[in-house]
């Protein structure tokens, strides 16, 4: 197993511009760094993201062999709870717990979604509840005080802990995680966060006692307001919103909870749509393509499967002014920043394998790794970089919490069923002939009729006419052809008359 490479934490992030596009059907948020889109968040009214939602679930099945359980929370598919996400196990990680000793079928249990349903997998749950505020994350079942890992200065960490403890009762039984944004928060702002989160938890507890199972007890803020809670920072230059109603709501939240954002939230009044003005629509279309063009003719090929994502770096037509090694080195360095940006923009998660162009010099390989680590450090999502394997591939993992961009915007092609390729008309012709031979042996039909797409029928009438005549002689029955214009290239029917 390769050792992980630490990502630098002292990099200077470029200023961000946040674009909030709202329609009656969906909300889209684009984050721009130096006028380049690096993140895109989409929330549709027909299918809100579930992460952060708290439900009163009911246990449907306990699987001791997998140390997991299926919990019904009122969704189309049962959600999944693993032993590592059960509160008792997380509080006592050194003690081996058994899920069958904690849960039983028919039991009501308070759970929170930590991963959205992806493809055929149901939502992933935890029984450890956390409620995110502007500066704090409330842990109502724990008494732990944690601090964001992004705050590295030990004196600052101790100062923040002391400030928070000064606001809590001496016998406080609830825990908190101090977020990075709390570095500049006043005591009054921290107290307001505590009061707000306490009221939210009290309301959840009250509902849990009075509501039936499979009930949603708490829903996270809509995307337009999560922008202020989760994405706004001192590095945010401007937030542009194209909806008057939502601009008002964001201003109200900012005045109450995020006062330093008030002067940065602006209502967009351009003649052209907000995303079109900043070329976001074009960038979204480009992000759905496997090829990403770099400068000077080099490019990336990004291919995602359910198991992993592979990224191939190619020089293309790029020929450097110096020697070949230098050309390869420069291409790989440029690819580092493009790869980091594409991971964020497409929201690719799980295992990611990068095939950089082979480099002969160890110093070049080390420099590429350091450049990639620097580029990945801008990511809000947790990334683990593991370096080069013995095959010269770079391994990394990126936490997956929601569907990637193509899963949100696209569906498998109904013609090729997501394979990305079709059988040739000749292949389909030969399949049809083999099936006719099988059917002729099974049934005593007087006549066979082939229904197929126009290009398949054309092939039977032209290049494959001789093979069709031989087939007719072989089975001793006539075969007629009929064009079905609605059929795909691979679709056909054989009718027995």
**Domain spans of the chain?**
16-44+222-280, 53-218, 289-409, 425-496
Backbone φ and ψ of 162, nearest 5°: -65, -40
Percent of the chain with pLDDT over 70: 98
- Give 405-419 pLDDT, tens digit per residue: 998 898 888 888 777
User: pLDDT value at position 189?
Assistant: 82
Tens digit of each residue's pLDDT (9 = 90 or more) over 151-201: 777 888 899 999 998 988 877 788 999 988 787 778 888 888 898 899 899
Q: Give pLDDT tens digits for 127-150.
A: 999 998 888 999 998 888 899 877
Q: Global pTM?
A: 0.77
Per DSSP, the three-state class of 124 is strand
pLDDT confidence of 31, banded at 50, 70, 90?
Answer: very high
Question: What's the pLDDT score for residue 322?
Answer: 62
pLDDT for 258 equals 81
Contact yes or no for 229/41 (Cβ under 8 A): no
> What pLDDT shows up at residue 47?
65
* pLDDT at residue number 218: 92
Tens digits of residue pLDDT in 307-316: 899 999 998 7
- Per residue in 385-405, pLDDT (tens digit) is 998 998 989 999 998 877 889
* Cβ partners under 8 Å of residue 199, min gap 6: none
pLDDT exceeds cutoff 90 at 60: yes
Q: Which CATH class is domain 16-44+222-280?
A: alpha beta
Q: How far is CA 79 from CA 323, 402, 496, in A?
A: 56, 14, 47
| pLDDT tens-place string over residues 209-255 | 999 989 999 988 889 999 988 888 888 999 999 999 999 999 998 88
Element (H, E) at 117: none
pLDDT for res 13: 81
Neighbouring residues of 492: CB distance < 8 A, sequence distance ≥ 6: 428, 431, 432, 450, 451, 452, 453, 456
Q: Which value, in Å, is the radius of gyration of the alpha carbons in the chain? A: 29
> Cα(42)–Cα(21) distance, rounded to whole angstroms?
10
Instruction: Evaluate if residue 338 carries a pLDDT over 70.
Output: yes
pLDDT at 318: 58
Q: Residue 178: helix, strand or coil by DSSP?
A: strand
CATH class of 53-218: mainly beta
The mean pLDDT value of the chain amounts to 89
Instruction: Inform me whether the pLDDT recorded for 320 exceeds 60.
Output: no
9-18, 101-110, 221-230, 382-391: segment of lowest average pLDDT: 9-18
Q: Does the structure show a pLDDT above 60 at 37?
A: yes
Shared fold status for 16-44+222-280 and 289-409: no
Q: Which residue has the tokens 């990099």?
A: 11
| Whole-number pLDDT of residue 95 | 82
Which residue would you say has higher pLDDT here, 114 or 11?
114
Helix (H, G, I), strand (E, B) or coil at 323: coil
Task: Report how far residue 114's alpha carbon sits from residue 165's, in angstroms, rounded to the nearest whole number.
Answer: 28
Q: What is the pLDDT of residue 435?
A: 93
Q: How far apart are CA 204 and CA 98, in angstroms?
A: 27
Q: Is the dihedral of CA 225, 228, 231, 236 positive or negative?
A: positive
Phi, psi of 140 (to 5 degrees): -70, -20
Residue 483: pLDDT band (50, 70, 90) is very high
Cβ atoms of residues 80 and 122 within 8 Å: yes
Q: What is the topology classification, in CATH, of domain 425-496? A: Hypothetical Protein Ychn; Chain: A, (3.40.1260)
Residue 471 in this model has a pLDDT that exceeds 80: yes
pLDDT at 26: 93
Closest-CA residue to 3 (of 269, 275, 385): 385
Contact 345, 40 (CB under 8 A): yes
Both tokens assigned to 247: 């601009």
CATH architecture of 289-409: 3-Layer(aba) Sandwich (3.40)
pLDDT over 90 percentage in the chain: 56
């Amino acid at each position: 197993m390769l050792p992980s490479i630490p990502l630098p934490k002292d990099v200077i992030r470029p200023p961000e511009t946040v674009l909030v596009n709202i329609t009656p059907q969906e909300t889209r948020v684009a984050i721009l760094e130096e006028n380049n889109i690096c993140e895109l968040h989409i929330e549709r009214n027909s299918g809100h993201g579930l992460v952060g939602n708290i439900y009163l679930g009911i246990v449907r099945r306990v699987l001791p062999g997998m140390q997991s359980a299926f919990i019904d929370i009122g969704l189309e598919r049962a959600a999944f709870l693993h032993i590592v996400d059960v509160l008792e196990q997380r509080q006592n990680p050194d003690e081996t717990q058994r899920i069958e000793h904690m849960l039983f079928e028919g039991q009501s249990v308070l759970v929170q979604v930590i991963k959205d349903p992806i493809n055929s997998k149901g939502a992933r749950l935890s029984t450890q509840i956390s409620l995110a505020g502007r500066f704090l994350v409330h842990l109502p079942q724990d008494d732990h005080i944690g601090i964001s890992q992004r705050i590295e200065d030990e004196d600052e960490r101790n100062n923040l802990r002391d400030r928070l403890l000064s606001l809590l009762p001496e016998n406080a039984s609830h825990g908190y995680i101090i977020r990075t944004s709390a570095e500049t928060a006043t005591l009054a702002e921290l107290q307001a966060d505590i009061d707000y989160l306490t009221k939210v938890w009290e309301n959840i507890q009250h509902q849990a006692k009075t509501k039936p199972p499979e009930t949603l007890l708490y829903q996270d803020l809509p995307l337009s307001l999560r922008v202020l809670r989760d994405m706004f920072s001192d590095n945010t230059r401007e937030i542009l919103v194209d909806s008057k109603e939502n601009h008002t709501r964001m201003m109200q939240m900012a005045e109450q909870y995020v006062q330093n954002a008030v002067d940065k939230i602006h209502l967009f009044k351009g003649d052209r749509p907000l995303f079109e003005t900043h070329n976001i629509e074009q960038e979204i279309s480009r992000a759905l393509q496997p090829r990403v063009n770099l400068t000077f003719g080099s490019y990336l090929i990004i291919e995602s499967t359910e198991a992993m994502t592979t990224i191939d770096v190619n020089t293309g037509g790029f020929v450097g002014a110096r020697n070949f090694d230098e050309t390869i080195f420069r291409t790989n360095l440029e690819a580092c920043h493009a790869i980091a940006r594409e991971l964020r923009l497409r929201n690719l998660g799980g295992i990611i394998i990068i095939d950089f162009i082979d480099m002969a010099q160890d110093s070049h390989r080390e420099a590429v790794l350091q450049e990639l680590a620097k580029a990945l450090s801008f990511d809000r999502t947790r990334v683990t970089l593991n370096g080069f394997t013995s095959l010269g591939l770079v391994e990394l993992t990126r936490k997956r919490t929601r569907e990637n961009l193509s899963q949100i915007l696209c569906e498998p092609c109904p013609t090729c069923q997501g394979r990305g390729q079709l059988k040739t008309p000749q292949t389909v012709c030969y399949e049809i002939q083999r099936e006719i031979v099988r059917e002729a042996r099974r049934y005593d039909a007087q006549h066979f009729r082939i229904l197929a797409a126009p290009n398949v029928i054309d092939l039977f009438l032209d290049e494959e006419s001789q093979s069709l005549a031989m087939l007719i002689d072989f089975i001793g029955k006539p075969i007629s052809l009929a064009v079905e214009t609605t059929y795909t290239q691979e679709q056909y029917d054989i009718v027995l008359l």
